[in-house]
Chain A
Amino acid sequence: MLRSFELCEPTSVAEASVLLARHGDAARIYAGGTELILAMKEGLIHYDHLVNVKTIPGLAGVRLDGGALRIGAATPHRVLERDPIVRERFPAVARMETDVANVRVREVGTLGGNLCFAEPHADPGALLQVFDATVRIEKKGGGRTILLEQLFVGPFETCLEGDELLTEIVVPPLPEHSAAAYLKFGFLERPSVGVGVAVTLDDGRVADARIAVGSVGPVPRRMREAEAVLKGKAIAESVAALPEAGQIAARAAEAITDLHGSAEYKEHLVGVLLRRAWEQALAAVDGRAGR
């Protein structure tokens, strides 16, 4: 049973920011609640004030803007899973969303909430990084836009200041002749390992390679050293280089042993999932760009 708290329902981002500033550590943003309410039920945390941001107009919804996907922070996973624009223009994002937790969590849980809770064992933070996604952070009187990868500071920790709200996630389109893929493995509802990749082909070569690994270490992160191994190579050479890229990514992921598996096991899976995701992305690029 939950301990008592006060529910605040602001009608603007500025008002929410003021509430957060006023109550300090005694207040927390409430969006989907699928993570927050669980932690509160378990007695791990308690807040005297929950600030319900779902009452703020315009904070939920998906739209296309100059090819980029703009996602309101309070948009539930299920909307992203089913939205025709997301499915057509960002199929890897839609597919990733269909596999987040279970359908009831997806109906209620929001993308912004997922990212801000910064639970290491989560899917969206890893895949969205290979799109170079940015997030819009606002507070009363100002705002800033940062790369998604800068949001994550540590497990359950973001760079948000106490009076700031994440309001929007912007996912730029990949260049032409590109495709993304996200694969994960886990035997619990949360993933043990998640690997996202994006490949751009040009005249039979890998013009760009992006790799992100999530769930394994403290935060989901881009694996630029591993990307460098694949960039510029002919397609077949890139496939041959996957074991090396996988080893580099596995080392960089800072795997820890926990109830989702041993560090060694997760490092092994990073390599396996990278190979499969890379091959899946290669196969998805339109006509393989001149191959």
Chain B
Amino acid sequence: MREIPMTVVVNGEKHELTVPAWETLIECLRDRLGLLGVKKSCDVQVCGACTVLLDDRPVSACTVLAFEARGKSLRTIEGLARGDELHPVQEAFVEHGALQCGFCTPGMIMATVALLGENPRPTADEVKHYMRGNICRCTGYKRILEAILDASRRMSGGAKGNGGAKGNDGAKGNDGAKGNGGTKGTDGR
């Protein structure tokens, strides 16, 4: 087979596509479907900027072949917000200022969504371990870690708005020692 027909659900929308066997997922998403939130950076699956979710699993769109999405669902940064309402992870990143140039942010956020999907209340160390493959050259990671821990609280904390207000700020909140301890380690990683 050189051309592969496939059905794929992208951000909830079903697509019937035919892709060359050698097309990568990032080419498919950016060039074929116009989803430019998927960022191409290192191009060798090291930096995480192109992280998308394939059946809720994080993959590098730069090195995974497009046909691997056959019969599966794909989620990109474009699929997170509902209209004007941001996803809690997006909200937390914004409120914590967990970005500077923003290029790594879509990948960071998608990796976070995957992490919290499988581990809703990670410790700071668990966050650092999981996110190790997502590289940011601007922030020093401190705010990213705080945003992720805060998003975790927002999403699993029960009542809506728990932690949603700025008052419950990052690592100083409920997680106490864990959050603080972890935060210190981040800058020097």
Using CB atoms and an 8 Å cutoff, list the residues of chain A in contact with chain B: 1-9, 33-34, 37-38, 41-42, 50, 78, 98, 101-105, 107-108, 189
Contacts and interface: CB of A to CB of B under 8 A. Distances in A.
Interface in B21-40: 21-24, 27
Interface stretch (B45-53, B150-158, B173-181): B45-53
Given A103-B114, A104-B58, 15 more contacts: A1-B27, A2-B22, A4-B22, A5-B21, A7-B2, A9-B1, A33-B64, A34-B63, A37-B64, A41-B44, A42-B44, A103-B58, A104-B45, A107-B57, A108-B59
For chain B, the bracket of interface size reads: 20 to 34
Q: Across chains A and B, which 9 residue pairs bring their CB atoms closest together, nearest first?
A: A102-B133, A7-B21, A2-B22, A104-B60, A7-B1, A107-B57, A104-B58, A37-B63, A104-B59
Contacts of B122: none
B21 A105 contact: no
B111 interface: yes
A105 B22 contact: no
B45 A34 contact: yes
20 contacts: A3-B22, A4-B22, A5-B2, A7-B1, A7-B21, A8-B1, A33-B63, A37-B65, A38-B45, A42-B44, A101-B45, A103-B130, A104-B45, A104-B60, A105-B45, A107-B58, A107-B59, A108-B59, A108-B60, A189-B133
A78 to B, nearest CB: 8
Given A41-B44, A104-B51, A105-B45, A2 B24 contact: yes
Interface of B: 1-2, 4, 20-24, 27, 43-46, 48, 51, 57-60, 63-65, 67, 111, 114, 129-130, 132-134
Contact of A41 (B20, B43, B67, B111): B43
A16 to B, nearest CB: 15
B63 A41 contact: yes
Contacts of B67: 7
B189 to A, nearest CB: 11
Nearest to B3: A7
Contacts of A33: 63-65
A104 B21 contact: no
Q: Which of B4, B22, B24 has the most CB of A within 10 A?
A: B22
B72 to A, nearest CB: 13
B65 A6 contact: no
Given A33-B63, A41-B63, A104-B59, A5 B22 contact: yes
A255 B127 CA distance: 34
Contacts of A7: 1-2, 4, 21, 67
B63 A6 contact: no
A10 to B, nearest CB: 12
B64 A98 contact: no
Nearest to B115: A103
A103 B133 contact: yes
A76 to B, nearest CB: 9
A103 B119 CA distance: 14
A41 B132 CA distance: 24
A4 B48 contact: no
A173 B51 CA distance: 37
B21 A50 contact: yes
Nearest to A190: B46
A104 B133 contact: yes
A5 B60 CA distance: 21
B79 to A, nearest CB: 18
Q: Which of B2, B27, B46 has the most CB of A within 10 A?
A: B46
Nearest to A42: B44
Contacts of A8: 1
Contact of A102 (B24, B43, B114, B132): B132
B129 A98 contact: yes
Contact of B48 (A5, A9, A78, A102): A102
Q: Which of A3, A103, A107, A189 has the most CB of B within 10 A?
A: A103
Nearest to B50: A104
A270 B4 CA distance: 47
A9 B65 CA distance: 14
A153 B45 CA distance: 27
A2 B21 CA distance: 10
Contacts of B130: 103
A107 B59 CA distance: 7
